Amino acid sequence: MSRLVTSATAGSRRVPTRKIGGTAVSAVGLGAMLLSLSGRPDERQAVRTIHAALDAGVTLIDTADAYCIDGPEMGHNERLVAQAVRSWRGDPDAVVIATKGGHYRSRDGAWLVNGRPEYLRRACEASLAALGFDTITLYQHHRPDPAVAYEDSIGALKGLQEEGKVRFIGIGNASVAQIRQAMSIVELASVQNEFSPAFRTSAPEIELCAQKGIAFLAWGPLGGMSAAGTLGERHPAFEQVARSHGVSPQQVCLAWELARAPVVIPIPGSRKPETILDSLGAVELHLDEDELALLDGR
């Protein structure tokens, strides 16, 4: 099974790519969430981080309208990412900014969901304005809303696609049954679920995506902000393999995720250039079967 599909140039470097819908993106994307939550860097550092990723060949940035501190700030991360991509010295059209709707933040910062069709339409229109786009390349339904029939939420995205506001449709935090349900309504381009050494329960969803040729965007791929730095201590097999290659356990982790299926695209978060540059090295790290078995715990 080939790990890498093809290769494309965005910034100064060529990075192996994978597909979302028909579009090739770097096999590792940048998760932009931490650039807008509490504990975020100042704007100059945030833009430097995004530019470093793009210069190194990243062509996928994951954002969402709800990546902000509280309700009045909705769209913060989309505006930041769009501005950084526009001010980058390379070609902004070579970069896919993937966003999401369906989560919102209350005035005091709580994470809430709204999957009603009329809300998703308003959210998509607000994302188009925040990004400065006529069409969003990948629009993802962030998380199912238990108060709304799933087919109604997905049907709303279908309507947005028919109107040309959205090119590809993705879903997030979805079960195998929800992926199948979404596939019966739309041509599904991606699924974004949590997957990391500490959280492997999305394995069946990855398997289904691999069978159907749907991109699987692994969120929290290093275990999230509070655990990513100590990944090697938490998961000694990753530390062991990292030592033998002379690389970081985080790089081994992302290479292990890439090796799981050719549809997997990890989107590690970074608040500084060093971490995304290290993470991107995973696209060139080959792990053999024995190493993969060790990391799988087989």
Candidate residues 99, 137, 181, 250; the one interacting with ligand NAP per rule CB under 6 A: 250
**Using the rule CB under 6 A, is 69 a contact of ligand NAP?**
no
**Coil, strand, or helix at residue 84?**
helix
Q: Is 67 a catalytic residue?
A: yes
Sorted by sequence, the CB contacts under 8 Å of residue 168 that are 6+ apart come out as: 20, 21, 23, 137, 138, 139, 189, 190
**Binding to ligand NAP, residues 169-208 (CB under 6 A):** 172-173, 192
Q: Residue 52: phi, psi to the nearest 5? A: -65, -40
**Site for ligand NAP contains 51 (CB under 6 A):** no
Q: Is there binding between residue 267 and ligand NAP (CB under 6 A)?
A: yes
Binding ligand NAP by CB under 6 A: which of 179, 268, 283, 287? 268
Using alpha carbons only, what angle is made at residue 126 by residues 121 and 127, rounded to the nearest 5 degrees? 95
- Closest approach, Cβ 76 to ligand NAP, in A, equals 13
Count of residues of this chain found to bind ligand NAP when the rule CB under 6 A is applied: 30
Question: Which helix H or strand E contains 266, and what residues bound it?
Answer: strand 264-266
Residue 123 makes contact with ligand NAP by CB under 6 A: no
Distance in Å, CB of 255 to ligand NAP, minimum? 11
8 near ligand NAP, rule: CB under 6 A: no
- Rounded to a whole number of angstroms, the minimum distance from the CB of residue 161 to ligand NAP is 20
Nearer Cβ to ligand NAP, position 110 or 293?
Answer: 110
- List 11, 221, 232, 262, residue binding ligand NAP (CB under 6 A): 221
Stretch that binds ligand NAP, among 7-15, 83-91, 107-115, 268-276 (CB under 6 A): 268-276
Distance of CA 113 to the CA centre of its chain: 19
Say whether residue 33 binds ligand NAP (CB under 6 A): yes
Q: Own/partner pairs for 72-79, CB < 8 Å, 24+ apart?
A: 72/107, 73/36, 73/105, 74/104, 74/105, 74/126, 75/126, 75/127, 75/129, 75/130, 76/36, 77/32, 77/33, 77/35, 77/36, 78/127, 78/130, 78/131, 79/130, 79/131
The whole-angstrom separation of Cα 265 and Cα 215 is 7
CB of 39 to ligand NAP, least distance (A): 8
Instruction: Give the residues lining the site for ligand NAP (CB under 6 A).
Output: 31-34, 62, 142-143, 172-173, 192, 219-225, 228-229, 248, 250, 267-272, 275, 278-279
Show which residues are catalytic: 67
